[in-house]
């Protein structure tokens, strides 16, 4: 398991800086709850539907409409909390966060400020074999998503699509325990992985199902340790928040830029101004969106349309009992059960669908060999062709069939690759293909002996050479393999050639 004694040190030297500086990062990740219906209405959450087709009267904020809480969304958030080893608050409450924006018909977002559903938890972010950073989760609250304004369809008009309005989000707030750009990306990767294992968020970042606000500050070495001891934020630098990031690459670039910007200000004797910034990937820069002074006064107050949310411990326990095996445990099990390396176990467990595929192949077979084939042949090929595992032309059953043929000595590793190619392009039953195409390995020593005899008889000069220099026996092995179309069992050929040449 992960040994947290080997927590990676924070990088101190930041390129271009005069002094040593450390980065401090905390993230607010918005994860769309995997649910067919919205948080307070029965409207569909389907992605890519005709604009404004998934909008109920509640989502459109028609007068007199009242929100009705979707229990399944709450169950998903509880499941998420349990997956992040977090405390579940049996009593939570919804608040109104008031602001005006065209994509928010209600004029307020229903969120949870004062009493969130989920309390403190943690995520272990692996930064190398056995080296992990523990990132504490402060809270998870449930809230509504807003709609989408569209400004680039017409030169004179803006449009609004309310399909996303009212979709349930989980806002997962971390403590400022992330210490560098790579860790920040690795944190989002890990969070996404856990949510996908739990089935509580699709994690599709392109569709905006998972997006992060990244809070960045810099401080001098030693300050973070003081913060850790006291939990007093005044030991840390002033932070800026970079909004709405939905790419791991841009998260890293934005943090690097932002750190350099803040350090330059501080080394110049200036002060960092707390503000919200946006990252421009074309320019590779963050720019100010609004300062703290311009920050909205959201006039939060308890939502009068919704009773406080009270849930039963029994219900929480039953959700806990039904949790699936999570990435850390699954990875440890693969190392233990299948004898695969730490790295291979990471690759196999990265995506929950990939792990399921591997287990189907490995079941009752040599786990290490299954891992090699799944990673090198299958994942390699899928990557090359830009395919997801769900679109793999070769099924787990077919790949398992190939491994069985190897295990029974019916085909060599080399022929198995040819067979894989045939399955990839045409499909079929591996054993039947081998039978029908005569791809079976020749292990019949009589047939191999006959082939060896023939080649020895036809090449007396080569025989003489090989007998004075045994290294040249390889030539005969090659000739036999050629004569048998690569189907002869190489081990048997070797032995027979050596015996016949008297080596």
Q: Is 86 in the site for ligand ADP (CB under 6 A)?
A: no
State in angstroms the smallest separation of the CB of 10 from ligand ADP: 13
Task: Determine which residue in the list 2, 14, 26, 56 makes contact with ligand ADP, applying CB under 6 A.
Answer: 26
Q: What mask, x for binding ligand ADP by CB under 6 A, covers residues 192 to 221? A: -----------------------xxx----
**End-to-end Cα distance, the chain:** 51
Task: Determine which residue in the list 81, 121, 147, 176 makes contact with ligand ADP, applying CB under 6 A.
Answer: 176
In the bound state, the residue with its beta carbon closest to ligand ADP is 26
Give the integer Cα–Cα distance in Å for 407 and 417. 14
Q: Is 402 in the site for ligand ADP (CB under 6 A)?
A: no
Q: Is 236 in the site for ligand ADP (CB under 6 A)?
A: yes
Give the integer Cα–Cα distance in Å for 133 and 183. 8
Q: Which is nearer to ligand ADP, 138 or 161 (CB)?
A: 138
Q: Which is nearer to ligand ADP, 6 or 233 (CB)?
A: 233
Task: Determine which residue in the list 175, 196, 211, 261 makes contact with ligand ADP, applying CB under 6 A.
Answer: 175
* Cα–Cα distances in angstroms (integers) from residue 96 to residues 110, 112, 306, 429, in the given order: 5, 8, 10, 59
Query: Residue 464, exposed/middle/buried by CB under 10 A (0-12, 13-18, 19+)?
Result: exposed
Among 165, 212, 195, which Cα is nearest to 34's? 195
- Is residue 174 within 8 A of residue 187, CB to CB? The reply is yes
Q: Kind and range of the H or E element at 475? A: helix 473-483
State in angstroms the smallest separation of the CB of 363 from ligand ADP: 42
Name beta bridge partners: 172: 29, 140
R_g over Cα of the chain: 30
Q: Which is nearer to ligand ADP, 174 or 354 (CB)?
A: 174
* Cα–Cα distances in angstroms (integers) from residue 462 to residues 452, 455, 456, 467, 472, in the given order: 13, 10, 8, 9, 8
Task: Determine which residue in the list 239, 277, 331, 487 makes contact with ligand ADP, applying CB under 6 A.
Answer: 239
Give the integer Cα–Cα distance in Å for 46 and 239. 36
Name beta bridge partners: 26: 215
- Name the token pair of 25: 């990062």
State in angstroms the smallest separation of the CB of 430 from ligand ADP: 51
Q: Is 233 in the site for ligand ADP (CB under 6 A)?
A: yes
Q: Which stretch binds ligand ADP (CB under 6 A): 22-30, 303-311, 438-446, 493-501?
A: 22-30
Backbone angles phi, psi at 132, to 5 degrees: -140, 150
Q: Which is nearer to ligand ADP, 235 or 487 (CB)?
A: 235
DSSP at 471: G
State in angstroms the smallest separation of the CB of 28 from ligand ADP: 5
Q: Which is nearer to ligand ADP, 27 or 140 (CB)?
A: 27
Q: Is 489 in the site for ligand ADP (CB under 6 A)?
A: no
Task: Determine which residue in the list 27, 132, 194, 316 makes contact with ligand ADP, applying CB under 6 A.
Answer: 27
Q: Which is nearer to ligand ADP, 70 or 217 (CB)?
A: 217
Q: Is 79 in the site for ligand ADP (CB under 6 A)?
A: no
Where on the chain is the footprint of ligand ADP (CB under 6 A)? 24-28, 173-176, 215-217, 233, 236-237, 239
């Amino acid at each position: 398991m992960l040994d947290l004694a080997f927590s990676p040190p924070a990088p101190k030297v930041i390129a271009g800086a005069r002094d040593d500086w450390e980065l401090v990062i905390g993230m607010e990740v918005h994860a769309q709850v995997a649910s067919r219906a919205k948080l307070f209405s029965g409207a569909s959450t389907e992605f890519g539907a005709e604009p404004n087709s998934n909008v109920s009267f509640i989502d459109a904020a028609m007068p007199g409409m009242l929100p009705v809480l979707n229990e399944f969304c709450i169950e998903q958030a509880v499941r998420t909390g349990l997956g992040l080893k977090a405390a579940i608050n049996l009593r939570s409450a919804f608040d109104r966060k008031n602001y005006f924006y065209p994509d928010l018909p209600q004029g307020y977002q229903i969120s949870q400020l004062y009493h969130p559903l989920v309390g403190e938890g943690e995520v272990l972010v692996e930064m190398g074999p056995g080296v992990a950073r523990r990132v504490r989760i402060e809270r998870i609250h449930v809230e509504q998503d807003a709609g989408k304004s569209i400004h680039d369809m017409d030169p004179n008009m803006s449009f609004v699509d309310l399909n996303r309005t009212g979709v349930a989000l989980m806002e997962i707030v971390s403590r400022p325990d992330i210490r560098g750009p790579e860790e920040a990306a690795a944190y989002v990767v890990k969070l996404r992985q856990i949510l996908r294992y739990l089935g509580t968020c699709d994690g599709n970042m392109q569709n905006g199902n998972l997006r992060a606000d990244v809070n960045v500050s810099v401080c001098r070495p030693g300050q973070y340790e003081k913060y850790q001891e006291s939990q007093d934020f005044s030991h840390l630098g002033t932070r800026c928040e970079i909004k709405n990031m939905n790419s791991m690459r841009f998260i890293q670039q934005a943090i690097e830029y932002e750190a350099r910007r803040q350090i330059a200000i501080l080394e110049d004797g200036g002060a960092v101004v707390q503000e919200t910034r946006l990252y421009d990937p074309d320019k590779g820069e963050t720019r100010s969106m609004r300062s703290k002074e311009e920050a909205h006064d959201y006039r939060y107050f308890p939502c009068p349309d919704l009773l406080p949310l009270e849930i039963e411990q029994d219900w929480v326990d039953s959700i806990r009992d039904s949790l699936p095996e999570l990435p850390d445990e699954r990875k440890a099990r693969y190392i233990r059960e299948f004898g695969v390396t730490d790295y291979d176990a990471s690759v196999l467990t990265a995506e929950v669908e990939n792990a399921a595929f591997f287990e189907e192949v490995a079941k009752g077979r040599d786990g290490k060999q299954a891992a090699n084939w799944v990673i090198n042949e299958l994942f390699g090929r899928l990557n090359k062709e830009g395919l997801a595992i769900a679109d793999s032309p070769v099924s787990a059953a077919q790949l398992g069939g190939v491994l069985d043929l190897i295990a029974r000595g019916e085909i060599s590793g080399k022929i198995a690759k040819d067979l894989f190619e045939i399955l990839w392009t045409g499909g079929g039953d591996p054993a039947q293909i081998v039978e029908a195409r005569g791809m079976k390995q020749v292990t019949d020593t009589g047939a191999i002996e006959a082939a060896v005899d023939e080649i020895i008889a036809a090449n007396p000069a080569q025989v003489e050479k090989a007998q004075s220099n045994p290294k040249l026996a390889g030539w005969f092995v090659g000739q036999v393999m050629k004569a048998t179309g690569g189907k002869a069992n190489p081990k048997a050929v070797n032995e027979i050639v050596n015996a016949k040449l008297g080596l």
